[in-house]
Amino acid sequence: MGTQREQGDGRWGNPRLIAGRYRLDARLGRGGMGLVWRATDRLLRRQVAVKELLLDETLSADEVRQQRDRTLREARAVAQLSHPHIIVVHDVVEHDERPFIVMELIDGGSLAERISTQGPLDAPEAARIGIALLSALRTAHAAGVLHRDLKPANVLLEPATGRVVLTDFGIARLTGAPTLTESGTFVGSPEYTAPERMTGARTGPESDLWSLGALLCAALSGESPFRRDSLGGIVHAVIDDDIRPPVQAEPILPVVRGLLDRDPDQRLDAEQAERMLRDFLDMGRLPPRAVPYRRRRVLVGALLVAATAGAGASAAALLLSGGGDTPGPEVSVSAPAGYRVVEDPAGFSLAVPEGFTRRAQGLYVSSGETFRLSVRISETEPGGPLDAMRRAHAKGPDTHAGYRDGRVIATTHHGHPAARREFAWNAEGLAKRAYELWWQEGGRFYQLQVSAPVGEARQGRAYFDVALDTFMRP
């Protein structure tokens, strides 16, 4: 570990003593908000963690004092929280006009480190961590405390006990981090930041739940679905891009999509999300009707927001969610830009890309049939969609030349049993990839598929997502 002087900033002797009580022994880490030290509480003779918060030295003396006072005030509020999955704050002190937060020392690393060293988690482990964090957030929100920077680096895992610990509550606010609209810059973790907070529209408990949805995606796939190469790209992804949870999120997809609803008033709340994840752990899958039936209009088009000092634009395609066999109220479906709504003779409607033509009932193709979108409706299948898709997967080499990379995943759709499959094959000398969802609803069996050349698979997946999100059955 090196000497204390090597790890400090050279302004203090060795060892460094804070508030006459806490001896800083070794630096554990450094983040945008400050330094974290392993320390010894000399009064109680125990090991603790001490976070030294860094203040913005470009501010005036009065602004620095106000920032420090707010930091101490809000840190003391966090110290009042008592929950097994929230870091225990022992003390909040000042030393040389700098705030320090004294916390319990967790014998383990962060979720970010776990993902980096061991790879993504499986769905049951991600669900277990999600349940712990939702329980912690419910306690904090009930006390009027928001986290504001929920991300894998702020979730600690204690291997010996399996304990999940949420740390750094309120730090983004404590250090005075501006919203993007206030300064044109952003302090914090944009790829885990809710759109309404990104634009400065509002910040509430719902914003923390959005962050949890992005965190679950990262835990399952290794990265946030909003990761891009630049801040501008991240902002566009959060505010405007189609939201595409990773395929690894399929087992708990209704939870992830419910948390990543751009409308904070429609977003899944903590109690619902926790209950659904517990159901998943208990049953190994989300049960039918796990998602409350809320069929509503799909909102598309331009939703203008002030994202920077210049301007920004967002377009949100909010997903249909539903359950039960009783149809909800009649609603219309609006097509995203570049799509149009079609009413198929089979009785269903959905959005297809402009330029697609109907070749047969339930079949729509692009020019040259590069892309194909098909919907088949039949009577219910024995064993349900999962068994039916597994049978199709087993026969794949017989029905599709060069069948490969087939993967079948059990899931739900509108709360009904469903199965999802991706696979590649060769058609007329061209490598193609297909995306499928099969489900049973209202006594009927539905098969929705989009196929595309392998080199354009990402576009094919986009067509598939829009078709599925806008599909309305007879």
Residues above pLDDT 70, as percent of the chain: 81
Contact 74, 144 (CB under 8 A): no
- Residue 369, sorted as left (phi over 0), alpha (psi -120 to 50) or beta, turns out to be left
Task: Check: pTM over 0.75? Answer yes or no.
Answer: no
Per-residue confidence at 182, pLDDT binned at 50, 70, 90?
Answer: very low
- In DSSP terms, 305 is beta-bridged to 312
Check if 149 is active-site.
yes
pLDDT at 302 over 60: no
- Dist CA 241 CA 317 (whole Å): 9
Q: What is the pLDDT averaged over residues 210-222?
A: 96
Burial class (CB in 10 A: 0-12, 13-18, 19+), 377: middle
Tell me the CA distances in angstroms from 321 to 241, 268, 289, 456, one per residue in order.
Answer: 19, 11, 10, 28
Per-residue confidence at 32, pLDDT binned at 50, 70, 90?
Answer: low
What pLDDT score was predicted for residue 316?
30
Q: Which ranges of 222-370 would DSSP assign to H, the alpha helix?
A: 231-239, 253-259, 270-283
pLDDT at 269 over 70: yes
Per-residue confidence at 28, pLDDT binned at 50, 70, 90?
Answer: confident
Q: Where are the domains of the chain?
A: 4-104, 111-314, 339-470
- DSSP assignments along 62-120, one per residue: HHHHHHHHHHHHHHHHHHT---TTB--EEEEEEETTEEEEEEEPPSS-BHHHHHHHH-P
Q: What is the pLDDT averaged over residues 149-160?
A: 93
What pLDDT score was predicted for residue 288?
53
Domain 339-470: homologous superfamily in CATH: Mog1/PsbP, alpha/beta/alpha sandwich (3.40.1000.10)
Report which of residues 353 and 298 the model is more confident about. Answer: 353
- Tell me: the pLDDT tens digits for 68-103? 776 777 677 778 888 999 999 898 888 887 888 899
Report which of residues 2 and 248 the model is more confident about. Answer: 248
pLDDT at 210 over 70: yes
Q: Which residue has the tokens 């840190």?
A: 75
CA geometry: angle 51, 54, 58, nearest 5 deg: 175
Out of 25, 91, 149, 208, the active site residue is: 149
Instruction: Give me the CATH topology for the region 4-104.
Output: Phosphorylase Kinase; domain 1 (3.30.200)
Instruction: Give me the CATH topology for the region 111-314.
Output: Transferase(Phosphotransferase); domain 1 (1.10.510)
Q: Which ranges of 306-438 would DSSP assign to H, the alpha helix?
A: 384-394, 396-399
The residue type found at 407 is R
Report which of residues 455 and 333 the model is more confident about. Answer: 455
What pLDDT score was predicted for residue 469?
84
Prior bond of 15 cis (ω within 30°): yes
pLDDT at 135 over 50: yes
Strand locations in 308-355, DSSP E?
Answer: 312-314, 339-343, 349-353
Q: What is the pLDDT averaged over residues 104-113?
A: 92
Report which of residues 339 and 213 the model is more confident about. Answer: 213
- Tell me: the pLDDT tens digits for 226-238? 999 888 889 989 9
pLDDT at 327 over 80: no
- In DSSP terms, 365 is beta-bridged to 357, 372
